[in-house]
Structure 1
Amino acid sequence: MSIENLSNRDVPVTTRQVKAARALLGWSQGDLAEHSDISEPTIARLEAEDGPLGGRPETAAKIINALVGAGIEFIPQNGGGVGVRHSRR
């Protein structure tokens, strides 16, 4: 799912989805910082809050794009809750 599709969703990407995506990829916060060009302290601060991914829209977009670019698909609420998975290439 591209960032364009994510921005049109009723439910934004959550910090739990970001953490789950990092876990699927085996990435630390430092790895995500490197791939998204967002500082590690900013990622740590954003992940410390539960709920929708906060921060500036461009910051969230960089984080989401880095994860999507690495093969993560964000799953919207579909009766079973939001989630993440490796996308098919």
Structure 2
Amino acid sequence: MTKNIPSRLIYAAQIRAARGLLNWSQGELAVRAGVSKQSVTRIEIGTTDPRFSTMTALNEATRSAGVEMAEDINGTVRLTVSRVKLLPPFA
């Protein structure tokens, strides 16, 4: 039996997984994406539906470091690691 999982929770899991692959904190992802840490936290715990612009910024930040989030035509959610760039951490 398939459960209907809200898309915000699927996206939250993707963001957490992408951060884990990159070994980034929420704060580091926020800085790299140009969004607030509070936005990342709320998205990851699933208490907010992110704005399209925020999702785009987060996706671009992880993609530029080698982790791409995508959903195929069947609704399967995937994280693709093409190349993980070890970027210097923020202070």
TM-score over 0.5 for the pair: yes
**Compared with structure 1, are the counterparts of its residues 59 and 82 closer, same or farther at alpha carbon in structure 2 (3 Å cutoff)?**
same
Gaps of 5+ in 2: 1-6, 85-91
Query: Following TM superposition, by how much is the alpha carbon of 1:46 offset from its aligned partner in structure 2, in angstroms?
Result: 1.0
TM-score by length of 2: 0.68
- Maintained 8 Å contact 1:32/1:63: yes
Choose the corresponding residue for 1:44, options 41, 46, 49: 41
| Residue among 17, 22, 36 paired with 1:20 | 17
Gaps of 5+ in 1: 1-10
- Out of 56, 61, 76, the residue aligned to residue 56 of structure 2 is 61
Aligned alpha-carbon RMSD (Å): 2.9
TM-score (norm 1): 0.70
Q: Secondary structure at the match of 1:27?
A: coil
- Which residue is 1:6 aligned to? none
- The structure that has the greater radius of gyration is 2
Q: Identity across aligned pairs (percent)? A: 32
Highest RCO, 1 vs 2 (Cα 8 Å, sep ≥ 6): 1
